[in-house]
Copies of this chain bind each other. A is one copy, B any other.
Amino acid sequence: MKRAIVAMGGGPTRVINRSLFGVVDEATKNGIDVLGARHGFAGFLKEQFLPLTPSTPPVATLQNLPGAMIGSTRMKPNAQDCVKAFDVFKKHGINYLFYIGGNDTAEATSIINREAKSAGYELRCFHVPKTIDNDLVENDHCPGYGSAARYVAQAVLGDDMDVRSLPGIKIDIIMGRHAGWLVAASALCRRADEDGPHLVYFPERAKSLADLLGDILKVYDKYGRCQVAISEGLLGPDSVDFISSPFVRGELQKAPFTPLIGMIETLGKVEEASGGAKKDTFGHIQLSGTGTLADLLAAAVKIATFKSLGKAARCRADTFGYLQRCYAGDASPVDVKEAEMVGRKAVQFAVKKDTDGSVALKAERSGGKYRARAELVALEAVAGKERFLPTDFINAEGNGVTEAFVEYARPLVGPLPR
């Protein structure tokens, strides 16, 4: 009897467990025994495996819930780690590895594959795509993105209705460290100019603080309210992370924004006190992954409106945080189906073809119809690479999406209100 290990890497998603279910169910149908590794590669080394079948816990009980049911990891293995893992794999008689994750996981799978070949260990390695960031190359889109995009679209729609109820300026910080796929989804329920989000900012389009405040005040002047969606990965004009950007820091050092420089420095000191602080290339303490960008921009808006209008605008900034990837409410039905499909396809490729690779999700859109299918591509083609928003998905001003993006994304998220 053949034996497979299935593992999960990177941040969890709403539907990653459906991919795991797809792998386990298809493997079982094909007479392959499946072990799940606890916390990915870390579980290989610690020999932490649990037998998985489609009809027993955790697969039977958790397949429709978000999160990585057997645990995930961010570990990047080296050659030595692989040698150790292969000893464990041999002991358990492992023939296949199915590693569900994003581009880092594709890279880990590629490393394992290369090292297995060089060690002469017969192991078929497959990467199964997953990421809310939607940034895997070779893919039309990635399982996990549709549900995260659905959450963001419904959250921003509700938030727009909220801002209309009690008008002010509202900023929503949305995930996506390098690519703007998720922040772009904030516009999916938009119908008219007066609908939020009035402004959308992407990692792909660098902006100064003056750019942002200029845009926001213009919308606020026109509608008496303004809703803004900003990617956590926004860069300053020098293409450096917005908070770290020397250009932006220069803007903050001038009146009336000087208190904000103090704010950033103090928050850096707090990070330092925890012993976990990392520094960027400019020697600043990194503040990503905190609520700092939200707090900074809300304060800048209040200061700017106080200065220009004599009264600070009602302004609040929310960082959407982990809920984008794990909210347990309704997933995108298309996403659920496709997440399961890529898991099944990986097993089918493994059984039918004597090869390794990454499952890639391709799609056809023509005449309002949408159809997805899975192909096998080389691990190296996907590993460690990132896919950014194409130019024709971002408007000329770099502060909104185009109709082309909406047409691309709408089939992926399921039916939306409004």
Contact = CB atoms under 8 A, between A and B. Distances in A.
Nearest to A71: B165
A275 B158 CA distance: 29
A275 to B, nearest CB: 4
A208 interface: no
Interface string A238-263: 00000000000000000010111011
A23 B385 CA distance: 56
B274 A312 contact: yes
A360 to B, nearest CB: 24
A216 interface: no
Contacts of A114: none
A190 interface: no
A273 B165 contact: no
A143 to B, nearest CB: 16
A294 interface: yes
Contacts of A69: 161
A161 B306 contact: no
Contacts of A330: 329-330
Given A12-B165, A267-B263, A299 B274 contact: yes
A152 B162 CA distance: 17
A166 B74 contact: yes
A63 B325 CA distance: 28
A64 interface: yes
Contact of A164 (B71, B170, B189): B71
Contacts of A327: 154-155, 158, 329
A260 B270 CA distance: 6
Contacts of A33: none
Interface in A288-319: 289-292, 294-295, 298-299, 302-303, 306, 311-312, 316-319
B316 A275 contact: no
A418 B65 contact: yes
A159 interface: yes
Contacts of A66: 158, 161-162
A322 B159 contact: yes
Contacts of A319: 291, 318-319, 321
Contact of A321 (B160, B189, B316): B316
Contacts of A290: 295, 298
Contact of A67 (B68, B164, B311, B323): B164
Interface in A182-222: 189
A72 interface: yes
Interface string A150-175: 01001101111110111100100000
Interface string A326-369: 11111000000000000000000000000000000000000000
A8 interface: yes
Interface in A258-281: 258-260, 262-263, 266-267, 269-276
